[in-house]
Amino acid sequence: MPSKADYGDIDFLVSGFLSNPSAAVDWPAMVSAVSSAFDTTHCRRGYLNTDVIFSAIPAGGENDFWVQIDIKILEKRDEQSFAWEKFQLNYASGSKMLGSLIKPLGMTIDPEGLHIRVEEMEQTNFPGSMVFVSKDPWDVLKIVGLDRRFLYEGFTGNEQIYQYFASSWVFQPAHFATRLEDEKFLKHLEERSAPWVHFVKEWISEHYPGYRFHDQDISLTEWYQTSRAAMREKVFTLFPSITPMFYAKRATYLKEVEEQRLREVLMKAIPTNREGWDEDLPRPRVIVKPVSPATPPMNPTILTDKPSSDLLSDAIFKAPPSPPNTPPLKPSLSAWVARLSNGRLDTPLYIVPLPRTPPLPFTAHPPSATMSLKAKLLCIARWTLFSPSTGLPYLARDPREKKFEMSWSDHGVSDEILVAWVREMWWGIWVRQAHVNYVGMWKRRFEKEDTKVAKAKQEPGAAAETEAKGHKVEQMAEVREDLDADLKTVEHQARREKILGRLATLTT
Judgement on whether residues 100 and 202 belong to the same structural domain of the protein: yes
Residue 270 in domain: no
Q: Which phi and psi (to 5°) does residue 305 adopt? A: -120, 135
Q: CA-CA distance, 6 to 216, in Å (whole number)?
A: 39
Judgement on whether residues 451 and 479 belong to the same structural domain of the protein: no
Q: Which pLDDT belongs to residue 303? A: 46
Domain termination site, one of 76, 92, 111: 76
Which residue range(s) make up the domain with 362? Answer: 275-289+332-458
Judgement on whether residues 494 and 449 belong to the same structural domain of the protein: no
β-pair type (130-134, 113-117): antiparallel
Q: CA-CA distance, 275 to 278, in Å (whole number)?
A: 9
Q: Which pLDDT belongs to residue 489? A: 57
Judgement on whether residues 285 and 417 belong to the same structural domain of the protein: yes
Judgement on whether residues 43 and 85 belong to the same structural domain of the protein: no
Q: CA-CA distance, 275 to 273, in Å (whole number)?
A: 6
Question: pLDDT tens-digit profile of 145-158?
Answer: 999 999 887 788 89
Q: Which pLDDT belongs to residue 385? A: 95
Q: At what angle do helices 137-144 and 79-93 cross, to 10 degrees?
A: 50
Cα–Cα nearest to 239, from 83, 151, 356, 134:
134
Domain count, the chain: 4
Residues in the chain predicted with pLDDT less than 50, given as ranges, are: 303-304, 312, 315-317, 343
> What's at 392, amino acid-wise?
L
Residue 140 in domain: yes
**Who contacts 415 (Cβ-Cβ below 8 Å, separation ≥6)?**
262, 265
Residue 252 in domain: no
Bridge partner list, 68: 56
Judgement on whether residues 223 and 106 belong to the same structural domain of the protein: yes
**Who contacts 37 (Cβ-Cβ below 8 Å, separation ≥6)?**
none
Residue 62 in domain: yes
CB 32 within 8 A of CB 25: no
Residue 305 in domain: no
Q: Which pLDDT belongs to residue 506? A: 59
Q: Which pLDDT belongs to residue 70? A: 87
Residue 196 in domain: yes
